[in-house]
Amino acid sequence: MSRSKSISRKRGSDSSLNKSESKKRVVDDFDAGFSSDFKDIMSALRQIKEKANKDGQKKIKEMISSVASEIRSKIDQLNSKLVKDRQDFAMAYSENLTECGDFLEHETAKIKEVYEKFYKKKGVNFESLLNLGVFEKFSVDKDKEKGDSFEGMRDAVHNLTENNSRMLMRNEQLETKEKHLISEQEMFCAEKIAKLVVSLEKEKQDDKTFSTLKITLGSFLVNASDEDFLPDD
């Protein structure tokens, strides 16, 4: 009888032990599975993060490169326009000077011819007068031929003066236009850079949000190392 009770107690003890061990194994298996699942999640997050970092850096570089290219293109266009306008002005000014110079040379030749005829009649060597510098001291007969020559010279000087005034005014207008175009270019560049800064700040904020998510999930994983969940700079 006593032996039967002893055997019965032993069996009961063994049964309780088996249940306890079985329960422990279930808990251990659950903990192991739970830990494994979160490790897989964190591993996936790390992989996603690494790819996001690479993609993010690439995107940032592309954003900066795009804005820089657009600004450079605008600057090149403006520079080409300013250079062309200046070249056109220089060409017009040169043509104006050449035209006036040719006209003055023509009128001077006509006056010289009139003076040569006049002093030849007076028996005076015209070239000698030119060399002595006394050409302007001699009075001139106001006949029609000489009058026409001096009238042409006055017209040439008048035209030269007017053309020069017009070219100076055109140059002032060109400078005003250049300042306006440069001011517009500066505003365009400032707006593009401001938008780029906003976009870069958004990219940085998105990166911080991702880091916060990683830290939150990582706090449930007891076995994870601390460095797995350090916030990104």
Helix 144-218 to helix 2-121 angle (10° resolution) is 180
- pLDDT tens, position by position, 80-125: 888 898 888 888 888 877 877 777 777 777 777 776 776 666 655 5
Residue 215 resides in a domain = no
Residue 149 resides in a domain = yes
Question: DSSP labels for 98-139?
Answer: HHHHHHHHHHHHHHHHHHHHHHHHTT--HHHHHHHT-GGGS-
Angle at 80 between CA 79 and CA 83, to 5 degrees: 85
Residue 207 resides in a domain = no
Q: Which residue stretches of the chain have pLDDT < 50?
A: 1-5, 7, 10, 17, 23, 26-27, 30, 132, 134-147, 221-233
The CA-to-CA distance between both ends of the chain, in Å, stands at 76
Which residue type occupies 105? E
Q: What six digits make up the tokens of 85?
A: 């306008």
Domain enclosing residue 191, as ranges = 78-195
The beta-strand segments (E) located in the chain are none
Residue 46 resides in a domain = no
Tell me the HSE value of 95 on the side-chain side, using a 13 A CA sphere: 6
**Predicted local confidence at residue 224, as pLDDT:** 44
**Predicted local confidence at residue 125, as pLDDT:** 57
**Predicted local confidence at residue 74, as pLDDT:** 86
Residue positions counted in the chain: 233
Residue 131 resides in a domain = yes
**How many folded domains does the chain comprise?**
1
Residue 53 resides in a domain = no
Q: What six digits make up the tokens of 155?
A: 């017209």
